[in-house]
Chain A
Amino acid sequence: MFRTLIATVATVATASGAFAGGHSELLSKSWDEIVAQAKEEGQVSWFVWYFQPRYREIAKAFTEEYGIEVVIPEGTHEGNIEKFLAERNRDAGDIDVLAMGTDRIDLFDPTEMALGPLTDVLPEAPNMRTELGGHDGLGYAFGYWGNQTGIAYDPNKIADADLPQTIEDFEAFFAANPGAFGFNYENGGSGPSFFQNVTRNIINAEMDDWLSGEVTEDRMASLKPAWDWFLDHTDGYVITASNTDSLQRISGGEFTMVAAWEDHLYGLQVKGEIDDRIKYYIPEFGMNGGGNYNIVPANAPNPAAALVFLNWVSSAETQTAFNQVFGAAPMHPNADDSKALVPNEMRQYSTIWPGNPFNTEIRQAFVENVVLER
């Protein structure tokens, strides 16, 4: 029995992609037929890892339009993705639409594990973005959410004119205000965006070279001046537990500035969770912007409803709603993007994430060379 069980696990774990394309006949149907089938399915589960209660509110518009119930389970980013990976060999999984940060698309092969390509299937596809933040969704993954990292600040403690814009400005700020700046290195990418861009400036890397995902010993060794910089200024900054921890603590009056996501701060301010006095800027030395993808797993239990939902999420109306409720950057050209925390001219300082594996290697190097050495 024990051996049988192990053998079963082994089979499951090794035989991959067995059901990819299981719904391929669906993709050849007309959109009207897909919508009809979707209504028959009657339900769609969207696995998204943040702001679930408010997504449930917004999704009521979808239910009204199509009569399809939307289930948005609680769950974490990694938990959702792991579930997706673990369930890939089931005939029908539990996930209809899966949201993920764009960089997670590197974890698996979307052409095997996702339904698609959808470029000729979804009516909104011409307006949807499959290339986002330096990643390519290949027509299987589509952006539904744009976001930007930057720095949240407390105007009671620092004037707009004094905001640090360069590495030298930060050195001066650290010297004058020890322990008044906070950022995280895990649980969210705003901190990593900060130390990546500091590193890029300190080693004077050309942007094209910097964005390459290549990892060599020489390249990692060349980052040392940046690690020395962080170690020289340990009194200047505080490492926080997460993005949210940073924002809670700046709102509570503990910090003057923290690294943060624009949409995250906006969403919390709309709900009154973070004080409205907190403002936001993108420093001139650059901070990363990116977005989130949606995919439909190849074994989605309600594939037609998933496609209709994917199309709806990416539509101009929904994207406008996302901008108004969350401050997210719309992914649709016709959507209204008037709600944002930073003026448009500041967006010129937005940079993108370097490719993998460098993007992950630099984060681990930061832990090894700075966090553990502090």
Chain B
Amino acid sequence: MVSLADSGATVAPKKPTRRAGALNRFLMIVLMTIVAIWLIVPFSMAVLWSLVDPETGWNYPDLLPPSLTHLRWVEVWTTTALPQAIANSYMLAPTVAVVTLILASPTAYCFARYDFAGKGLAQLATLLPLVVPGFVLAIFFSSLIFSLGIYSRFLSILMAHCVLFLPYAIRIMTVSFGQVRQDLIDAARDLGASPLAVFRAAYMPALLPGILASLIIVFIQSIEEFAIAFIVGAPNFTTIPSILYSYLGYNFIRPNAAVVSLILVVPNVLLMLGLERLLKSANPAQTGVKG
């Protein structure tokens, strides 16, 4: 796969020639086949497992499940805390993503556009949340939060998640702010543009991909995070990963795990397709803002 894509890279010219166009098509077909195998096969296995009839099971040497039913889906939906967990997770994650971005931006701006003594050390320090193991962080974070007298589960997880995912947002936004071109800012200022206009003309095109990348990354991390959501959130605030852990851990039941996995993944993938479109439209190369 490396060599295939590599040769693709070497022939991607500014305006595709016919030869390159044909090659791109060929590469695309090859790549899509590989990707189909690496996405479609695993997911269709999961779909099959989620439809296995508990009466007959699916055991070796049956090549396919002897009978299919949607009972698992009904059972998982009605006997677990899944519906509430989905609501919780999808309320929490977007909030975390936005708040984290707001907290991260000033620091990222500072890292990208100012030089000061101890900058390297400061950048290093932003990585601290990444090197504290999840459960250690969760336990002492909950102690900390309780001792501060904060009992709102939502607020507590929100705070913890923001701190935990700030490094991603800061790192990504630092890269973005670094790509803002000073000559564009100067030019806009020289033309007498208002600060807002300067921001829209010079900053926004370079920042938008970073903003979206940061929102996406933090959103995914928050949806997936287990240790804090469980320790700080229990018992009333259940998120999807808590349920998933239960189904993939002690209670591992392959068909039910398949149901929960699919419920967890499908909205994510749809979301990604939408965001990918956004990301693409925000691409400076496409919106005509060129250097």
A residues contacting B by CB (< 8 A) are: 5, 8-9, 11-13, 45, 47, 49-54, 56-57, 71, 73-77, 79-80, 82-83, 86-87, 89-90, 94-95, 187-188, 242-245, 248, 251-253, 268, 271-273, 275
Instruction: Specify which chain B residues have a CB less than 8 angstroms from the CB of A11 in the assembled complex.
Output: 147
13 CB < 8 A contacts A-B? A9-B140, A12-B143, A52-B246, A76-B250, A79-B234, A86-B231, A242-B252, A252-B59, A271-B253, A272-B53, A272-B56, A273-B54, A273-B254
Instruction: Specify which chain A residues have a CB less than 8 angstroms from the CB of B231 in the assembled complex.
Output: 79, 82-83, 86
Instruction: Specify which chain A residues have a CB less than 8 angstroms from the CB of B245 in the assembled complex.
Output: 74, 76
Of the stretches B92-100, B188-196, B235-243, the one at the interface is B235-243
Instruction: Specify which chain A residues have a CB less than 8 angstroms from the CB of B140 in the assembled complex.
Output: 9
The answer to whether A90 and B250 touch (CB under 8 A), given A74-B245, A83-B234, A275-B57, is: no
A11 to B60, CA, bound (A): 57
Other than A73-B236, A82-B231, give 13 A-B pairs with Cβ distance below 8 A.
A5-B148, A8-B144, A11-B147, A12-B146, A79-B230, A83-B231, A87-B142, A87-B146, A245-B252, A248-B254, A252-B59, A253-B61, A275-B59
B residues contacting A by CB (< 8 A) are: 53-57, 59-61, 75, 79-81, 85, 135, 139-140, 142-144, 146-148, 230-231, 234-236, 238, 242-243, 245-246, 249-255
Instruction: Specify which chain B residues have a CB less than 8 angstroms from the CB of A83 in the assembled complex.
Output: 142, 231, 234
CB distance from B123 to the nearest CB of A (A): 20
Instruction: Specify which chain B residues have a CB less than 8 angstroms from the CB of A273 in the assembled complex.
Output: 54, 57, 253-255
CB distance from A63 to the nearest CB of B (A): 15
Task: Name which of A74, A86, A242, A273 has the most chain B CB atoms within 10 A of its CB.
Answer: A74
CB distance from B117 to the nearest CB of A (A): 21
The answer to whether A71 and B235 touch (CB under 8 A), given A9-B144, A9-B147, A11-B147, is: yes
A216 to B234, CA, bound (A): 41
Say whether A188 contacts B250, CB under 8 Å. yes
Of all chain B residues, the one with the shortest Cβ separation from A271 is: B54
Say whether B236 contacts A74, CB under 8 Å. no
Q: Which 10 A-B pairs have the closest CB atoms?
A: A253-B60, A73-B235, A272-B54, A244-B252, A53-B79, A74-B242, A74-B246, A50-B250, A8-B147, A275-B59
Task: Name which of B144, B235, B236 has the most chain A CB atoms within 10 A of its CB.
Answer: B235
Say whether B79 contacts A56, CB under 8 Å. yes
Of all chain A residues, the one with the shortest Cβ separation from B245 is: A76
Say whether A94 contacts B80, CB under 8 Å. no
CB distance from A57 to the nearest CB of B (A): 7
Instruction: Specify which chain B residues have a CB less than 8 angstroms from the CB of A80 in the assembled complex.
Output: 234
Task: Name which of A47, A57, A76 has the most chain B CB atoms within 10 A of its CB.
Answer: A76
Task: Name which of A11, A51, A83 has the most chain B CB atoms within 10 A of its CB.
Answer: A83
Of all chain B residues, the one with the shortest Cβ separation from A270 is: B54
Say whether A252 contacts B230, CB under 8 Å. no
Instruction: Specify which chain A residues have a CB less than 8 angstroms from the CB of B146 in the assembled complex.
Output: 12, 86-87, 89-90
A82 to B135, CA, bound (A): 9
Instruction: Specify which chain A residues have a CB less than 8 angstroms from the CB of B243 in the assembled complex.
Output: 74
A307 to B56, CA, bound (A): 41
CB distance from A96 to the nearest CB of B (A): 9
Instruction: Specify which chain B residues have a CB less than 8 angstroms from the CB of A9 in the assembled complex.
Output: 140, 143-144, 147
B250: which of A54, A244, A271 is its contact (CB, 8 Å)? A244
Say whether A86 contacts B139, CB under 8 Å. yes
Instruction: Specify which chain B residues have a CB less than 8 angstroms from the CB of A252 in the assembled complex.
Output: 59-60
Of all chain A residues, the one with the shortest Cβ separation from B81 is: A74
A9 to B146, CA, bound (A): 10
CB distance from A306 to the nearest CB of B (A): 13
Say whether B148 contacts A8, CB under 8 Å. yes
Say whether B235 contacts A268, CB under 8 Å. no
A242 to B248, CA, bound (A): 11
Of all chain A residues, the one with the shortest Cβ separation from B78 is: A53
A243 to B61, CA, bound (A): 23
A83 to B236, CA, bound (A): 14
Instruction: Specify which chain A residues have a CB less than 8 angstroms from the CB of B54 in the assembled complex.
Output: 271-273
CB distance from B39 to the nearest CB of A (A): 23
Task: Name which of B242, B249, B255 has the most chain A CB atoms within 10 A of its CB.
Answer: B249
